[in-house]
Amino acid sequence: MDLVSFTNVKKSFGKEAVLDNVSFSLGQGGIYGFIGRNGSGKTVIFKMMSGILLPDSGTILYKGENLSKKRKFIDSLGIMIETPGFIPHYSGMKNLKILNSLSSSPVTDEKIRALVSRLGLDPKNRRPVRTYSLGMRQKLGIIQAVMNDPELIILDEPMNSLDTNAANEVRGLLAELNGKGATIVMASHIPEDIETLCTDKFIIDNCTVRKC
């Protein structure tokens, strides 16, 4: 059974069509790259795939569950779409601890600290997130998306604002998580991310999606 499937999915905002009769499927355990210009519909697909946004018509299934009729945030999901949002006057570590406490699969503080250190942040730093650079916020967003070992990880432009060393560390981390069974769906404007990480690639263009 497919992990995710879209069948004849349509989505418009007002009179502007974003997706028209889109059909594709994702198996479990792959790394799937979505390629398309800004505004092509990548973020819309990711929001529908996670249960945040409903299609106008068509069917979206996650592990056989229909996500097309009722908004539902799917289980065992790690997601980073657009700009990561955090409580601005709390530190990065405190934000992560709060999110971890809300998870159905909480992990130890030690694991969180190890991920924070791995991506080049200081778990002892009490600076409020509002003072973080874009790169630091991006790292924090990636950590919150993966720290609870989700079955499905959805990342929209995860390497934005990262330097070369940090981007390489994130690529290694995603490869490790995939090796442990996580299915990863990502969009990136960086060709190296798609070519080196992804097992399958999809192009979004003119409101349609095709495998390449």
Q: What is the pLDDT of residue 136?
A: 95
Q: Which two tokens stand for residue 57?
A: 């018509």
Average pLDDT, the chain: 93
Total domains in the chain come to: 1
- For residue range 170-203, list pLDDT tens digits in order: 999 999 999 999 999 999 888 888 998 999 999 9
Count of residues making up the chain: 212
Residue 93, beta-bridge partner list: none
For 123, residues 6+ apart whose C-beta sits below 8 A from its C-beta are: 93, 112, 113, 116, 117
Q: Report whether pLDDT(82) > 80.
A: no
- For residue range 14-25, list pLDDT tens digits in order: 999 999 999 999
Q: Report whether pLDDT(131) > 90.
A: yes
Q: What is the pLDDT of residue 70?
A: 80
Q: What is the pLDDT of residue 170?
A: 96
Domain that holds residue 201: 4-211
210 Ramachandran zone, left/alpha/beta (phi>0; psi -120 to 50)? beta
Q: How many CB atoms lie within 10 A of CB 121?
A: 22
97 Ramachandran zone, left/alpha/beta (phi>0; psi -120 to 50)? alpha
Q: Are strands 4-13 and 57-62 parallel, antiparallel or unpaired?
A: antiparallel
Check if the beta carbon of residue 49 is closer than 8 Å to that of residue 11: no
* CATH of residue 190: 3.40.50.300
Q: Report whether pLDDT(83) > 80.
A: no
